[in-house]
Amino acid sequence: MHTPLLEARGITKAFAGVVAVDGLDLTIGAGEILALVGENGAGKSTMIKMVSGQYAPDAGEIRFEGRPVHFRGPLEARAAGIAVIHQELQLVPQMTVAENIVLGRWPKGRSGVDFARARKIAADVLPTIGFTLPVDTPVERLSTGQQQLVEIGRALAFDSKLLILDEPTASLSNSEAERLMQLVVALKARGLGILYVSHRMEEIFRLADRITVVRDGRLVGTRPRTALDHDTVVAMMVGERRSLHIERKRTAGTTLLRTRGLTRNGVFRDISIEVRRGEVVGLAGLVGAGRTDVARCLFGAERPDAGTIEIEGEAVTLANPRQAIARGLALVPEDRKSQGLVLPESVADNLVMSARRRVSRGGVVSSAAVARMVSFYVKKLGIRAASTANPVETLSGGNQQKVVLARWLATEPRLMILDEPTRGVDVGAKAEIHRVIETLVAEGMGVLLISSELPELMAMSDRVYVMRAGAIEAELSGADINEQTIMRHAAGATP
């Protein structure tokens, strides 16, 4: 074991009574790469936020360089020598490379910021990590890989000792990812401690000295990388939950949606999937796999660079969501609050928002038609609201999600694309949403279900496509729809 740099013991954190991290231990040595792995929702991000000062633990102790620390915010953690490179980079696009390097720690001159000193700090550190562009270049002109180097350069410019990399290659090209991994090895050789959070097994087994596996907020184990293989890590991630796909007596009908070679450069490639009437098709994958981007492309919110989309056998070009709706598609987005609802508006207004043509005559909205539609879907989905005239933000998360579902059902779609439809809702609401999905499928609708919850995919899906790194890794059916098989494909742990 290397000299301990960070020691976290018995760390616990709960939100509104829900435990996200439960008695977790984590130790990282100077000059060591520790990989932190686990399924979506296992507690990795919460742990990172506690180590870096964004959250305070409810219980447990964090020691850095042998001393107990109680960071009151990320700035204190940065000052102590802990830097986080988030998947969503923390840069100001309009500022130059040099300005981003010293952001928050501006060198002082006689009349304010010493910009010459800022440029020198950047020019001294960036070449050591392979960044060769002028430091006066605006960050918005850089590639994602180059922007990531700027973030790492900022950490090194102020003597960071622990570098936390959260899904660092998720948005990089293959060549950029290769250069980043080479840099990580070089930083380790300089004596930095590195916490490497990734779903990509090939990276973990290439880089890590040790691997820590977490599941449901708890520590499963920490072992040397040489003592593990891909299958063992996957088994540690999913545990003994071997519940198999539930075979249903659904009879799939004609093909509603078929894609052939659908590609969006740098995001996903060669996506060929099929959804038929009367079936639920799952779309599985880990963070950064590209599932949401595929859904947005199918709904006309993003344009593909290659490939075709067919709806009921007819090749279509969907330039915007309005055209997708007209073709019978509906998308329930993963973030209901920012993408699915207008929170200050009423339940009724949100519900009819996408189906005004059904409640209008000659361009004039009929109050009676609105009332009938709202009443119908409130009853159909079991939406609980004191009054449908109240703002939708006053509802519980589960009822808000049902309003989003109702909004799109009101457009009378043939195919529903559901992106994380039960995220952030309680157990009762989740069961009710599953009931709604079953009813829709029984009525002949097709459903494309994107979910990070493997039990949900297994319980609801007739078939499951597994995405990894922007491509379809496998199509599963029957007994192959189980957690181990899905995770092996999603994490790249298959032979």
- The pLDDT tens digits for 151-188 are 899 888 888 999 999 888 876 767 788 888 999 999 99
* Rounded average pLDDT over 271-299: 93
CATH of residue 49: 3.40.50.300
For the four alpha carbons of 383, 387, 389 and 391, in that order, the dihedral sign comes to negative
Last residue of a domain, one of 193, 208, 238: 238
Per-residue pLDDT reduced to its tens digit, 400-414: 889 999 999 999 999
* Rounded average pLDDT over 179-203: 90
* Rounded average pLDDT over 250-272: 92
120 and 12 in a common domain: yes
Check residue 33 and give its pLDDT. 96
Query: What six digits make up the tokens of 347?
Result: 């339940």
Per-residue pLDDT reduced to its tens digit, 208-233: 999 999 988 999 999 999 999 888 88
Check residue 474 and give its pLDDT. 95
pLDDT at 241 over 60: no
Query: Which amino acid type is present at position 164?
Result: I
Quote the domain boundaries for residue 132: 4-238
Phi, psi of 141 (to 5 degrees): -90, -5
278 and 178 in a common domain: no
364 and 230 in a common domain: no
285 and 206 in a common domain: no
pLDDT: which is higher, 169 or 74 = 74
CA torsion 98-104-110-111 (nearest 10°) is 90
pLDDT over 70, % of the chain: 95
Q: For residue 243, what pLDDT band results from cuts at 50, 70 and 90?
A: very low
475 and 336 in a common domain: yes
167 and 64 in a common domain: yes
Per-residue pLDDT reduced to its tens digit, 424-469: 676 667 788 888 899 999 999 999 999 988 888 998 999 999 999 8
430 and 345 in a common domain: yes
pLDDT at 493 over 80: no
Q: For residue 96, what pLDDT band results from cuts at 50, 70 and 90?
A: very high
Check residue 187 and give its pLDDT. 92
Cβ proximity of 192 and 162 under 8 Å:
yes
Per-residue pLDDT reduced to its tens digit, 375-388: 999 998 888 888 99
Cβ proximity of 197 and 212 under 8 Å:
no
Last residue of a domain, one of 238, 264, 289: 238
Q: Are strands 471-477 and 463-468 parallel, antiparallel or unpaired?
A: antiparallel
Check residue 34 and give its pLDDT. 97
* Rounded average pLDDT over 290-302: 94
pLDDT at 1 over 60: no
Check residue 98 and give its pLDDT. 93
Check residue 242 and give its pLDDT. 44
CB atoms within 10 A of CB 297: 24
Q: How far apart are CA 150 and CA 131, in angstroms?
A: 8
Q: For residue 87, what pLDDT band results from cuts at 50, 70 and 90?
A: confident
CB atoms within 10 A of CB 139: 20
Check residue 472 and give its pLDDT. 96
What does the mean pLDDT of the chain come to? Answer: 88
293 and 233 in a common domain: no
Per-residue pLDDT reduced to its tens digit, 116-127: 988 999 999 998
pLDDT at 246 over 60: no
Q: How far apart are CA 176 and CA 66, in angstroms?
A: 35
63 bridge partner residues: 7, 68
Convert the chain into a string of H (helix), E (strand) and C (coil).
CCCEEEEEEEEEEEECCEEEEEEEEEEEECCCEEEEECCCCCCHHHHHHHHCCCCCCCEEEEEECCEECCCCCHHHHHHHCEEEECCCCCCCCCCEHHHHHCCCCCCEECCEECHHHHHHHHHHHHHHHCCCCCCCCEHHHCCHHHHHHHHHHHHHHCCCCEEEEECCCCCCCHHHHHHHHHHHHHHHHCCCEEEEECCCHHHHHHHCCEEEEEECCEEEEEEEHHHCCHHHHHHHHHCCCCCCCCCCCCCCCCEEEEEEEEEECCCEEEECCEEECCCEEEEECCCCCCHHHHHHHHCCCCCCCEEEEEECCEEECCCCHHHHHHCCEEEECCCHHHHHCCCCCEHHHHHHCCCHHHHEECCEECHHHHHHHHHHHHHHHCCCCCCCCCEHHHCCHHHHHHHHHHHHHCCCCCEEEEECCCCCCCHHHHHHHHHHHHHHHHCCCEEEEECCCHHHHHHHCCEEEEEECCEEEEEEEHHHCCHHHHHHHHHCCCC
Q: How far apart are CA 295 and CA 451, in angstroms?
A: 12
Q: How far apart are CA 181 and CA 186, in angstroms?
A: 9
247 assigned to some structural domain: no
148 and 267 in a common domain: no
Overall domain count for the chain: 2
83 and 182 in a common domain: yes
Per-residue pLDDT reduced to its tens digit, 26-43: 999 999 999 999 876 788
In total, the chain counts a number of residues equal to 495
- In sequence order, what are the residues at sequence separation of 6 or more whose Cβ sits closer than 8 angstroms to the Cβ of residue 371? 348
Check residue 12 and give its pLDDT. 96
Last residue of a domain, one of 213, 238, 263: 238
262 and 234 in a common domain: no
pLDDT at 249 over 70: no
211 and 309 in a common domain: no
Q: For residue 244, what pLDDT band results from cuts at 50, 70 and 90?
A: very low
Q: How far apart are CA 316 and CA 297, in angstroms?
A: 12
Check residue 15 and give its pLDDT. 82
46 assigned to some structural domain: yes
Per-residue pLDDT reduced to its tens digit, 349-370: 999 988 888 888 877 888 899 9
